[in-house]
Amino acid sequence: MSKKRISGIVGIIVGLAFLYASIRETDFEAIWSSLKNADLRMIPVVVAALAVFYWLKALRWRHILLPIGNYPSSSLVPSMLAGAACNNLLPAHLGEIVRVYLLGHDFRLSKSSVLATLIVERIFDILAVLCLLTVALFFLDLHPRYYTAAIFLSVTAGIGFAVTFLIARYPKTSTDLIARLLRLLPKDPASRLTLLFSQLSEGLMALRDTRLFMLILCSSLLQWVAMATCIYSALIALGIWLPPYASILVLALLVAGLSLPTSPGFVGTIQFCFILGLEQFGVDANVAFSASVFYHVILFVTVTSTGVYFLHRYRLKLRSVYSNEIQ
């Protein structure tokens, strides 16, 4: 079996496990009742915040791609949303392969260079969410152990920020240092890891400018604030009135959960993260599940329909992801 198929199977298993954990003690009549009484006026708010999220994501990607070429943000949207749609329709984040393939196809870019920019994106996503979660944990009235977690996350975010900045400013020195450390490993994996790190440092080239580095970090923070707004709007729609920081906790769990192999459309993972995050505030699991469905359906329909439109423009079929057309 190919790595793609194995990843897909693992993703489906993980998604089903999360879904089972989410529904094993839920009351479907209570869930249906909550959804029927949901405030549908919040749908435009969720959609608007989602549009802001993707606009900021495209703008950030443009800045990260600057060493490769100066591409307008609007030219990056088709491949970005097509990849997001494939993530909704295929397991194990295979949409990221589509995104790399389509952008490389559009602008004749090497796939390794595009992939490096996606790794950089992920680093900034983690940094931004860690920063937001650190702030949220200090404001929320949670168990004392969470304050220890807040301090740990603050230190982690600070170290991550410093390491990323130093790699960007001193790529050759960083790569040489990693190469020396990896000499302890067998030659083949050491060479691959060194190459991967070298590509990563190339992807960070745009960040050697301190002003641009801070601009990308700020846009990452605003991007995830927009997604937290989507979550908070879903909570309000279901009558869950909590401090806005509660949505940051759910967001952090979502980012962590969606880093794992996932089922198509992230089914199960999203529901489990909502229930786990909201139980810290005493929210009933049925209501939390309902909020996750409200949030999930809006994002799935909006992103998938838009992304499928762009896939049609590219004349790319989903089965191509598993074939030799995309490698």
Q: How confident is the model at residue 232 (pLDDT cuts 50, 70, 90)?
A: very high
Query: What proportion of the chain, given as a percentage, has pLDDT over 90?
Result: 38
pLDDT at 8: 73
Separation CA 11–CA 174 (nearest Å):
34
Identity at 217, one-letter amino acid code: L
Reported as type and span, the H/E element at residue 248 is: helix 245-257
Domain assignments of the chain as residue spans, ordered by start: 7-322
Separation CA 233–CA 55 (nearest Å):
19
Q: How confident is the model at residue 324 (pLDDT cuts 50, 70, 90)?
A: very low
Can you state the angle between helices 210-237 and 245-257, rounded to 10 degrees? Answer: 110
Tens-digit pLDDT profile for residues 87-133: 898 887 888 888 888 888 888 887 777 877 887 888 889 889 988 88
Residue 149's Cβ-side half-sphere holds a number of Cα atoms within 13 Å equal to 15
Residues sharing a CB contact under 8 Å with residue 195, sequence separation 6 or more, in sequence order: none
Average pLDDT over residues 212-228: 92
Residues sharing a CB contact under 8 Å with residue 35, sequence separation 6 or more, in sequence order: 238, 290, 293, 294
Which range has the worst mean pLDDT, 6-10, 201-205, 230-234, 244-248?
Answer: 201-205
- Biggest CA–CA distance in the chain, Å, is 61
Separation CA 172–CA 72 (nearest Å):
29
pLDDT at 144: 65
Residue with the bigger pLDDT between 183 and 240: it is: 240
